[in-house]
Amino acid sequence: MLVLLLLFIHNTVRAWDLDTNKLIESSNKHEIAVNCAKFSSHYYCKYRSSVICSSSDDKTIRFWDFKHNQQFQVFNGHTNAVRDIEFLSFNGYRYLCFGSYDKTVRLLNVKISRSLHVFNGHEVIVCCVDISPLQSNNSNSNKCDIIVAIDCNGYTICA
């Protein structure tokens, strides 16, 4: 099934089946405008679940299983709208990076529901985040919990 996500200026994310042109499900759990929505690679790779991650002007990140229409994870912490989200492609996609109007970029471990790092120093709002395809230098990176994050300025941060 090929699925299209549509975001609306109000608080709604909709998932459409492109093969049948039918609405699969709709979520309106955000309080105000949704800014970004992406399929969660972590939940698909780990559990084969169809999960959508969305960010909003309500300062939250929400995870939603659209096949069962169930919200199951909410992350708070920003002091302003969360603009963009991006999953990191290593260690089972368990890390999520997101930027905000509060001028920060945050790194989150989705698996343990914990914020790992806040990147400060931006002078204006962060509208977009992206992750370099670089991998950990650790030859055993799939089996360890070493975190390697690429911040928006291209610096590598290891912890």
Q: Do strands 95-100 and 82-87 pair parallel, antiparallel, or not at all (unpaired)?
A: antiparallel
For residue 126, give both structure tokens: 């962060």
Q: Which domains does the chain have, with CATH numbers?
A: 3-158 (2.130.10.10)
Alpha-carbon distance 103 to 24, whole Å? Answer: 35
Residue of 102, 10, 87, 101 whose CA lies nearest to 52: 87
Write out pLDDT tens, residues 118-159.
888 888 888 888 776 655 444 444 433 334 444 444 434 332
Indicate yes or no: pTM above 0.95.
no
Element (H, E) at 72: strand 70-75
Q: What residue type is assigned to position 104 of the chain?
A: T
Alpha-carbon distance 4 to 148, whole Å? Answer: 31
Write out pLDDT tens, residues 108-123.
888 888 888 888 888 8
Q: What is the pLDDT of residue 158?
A: 32
For residue 68, give both structure tokens: 């069962």
Instruction: Mention every residue, 6+ apart, whose C-beta is less than 8 A from residue 30.
Output: 11, 12, 13, 54, 56, 57, 58, 60, 62
Alpha-carbon distance 142 to 92, whole Å? Answer: 8
Q: What is the pLDDT of residue 148?
A: 43
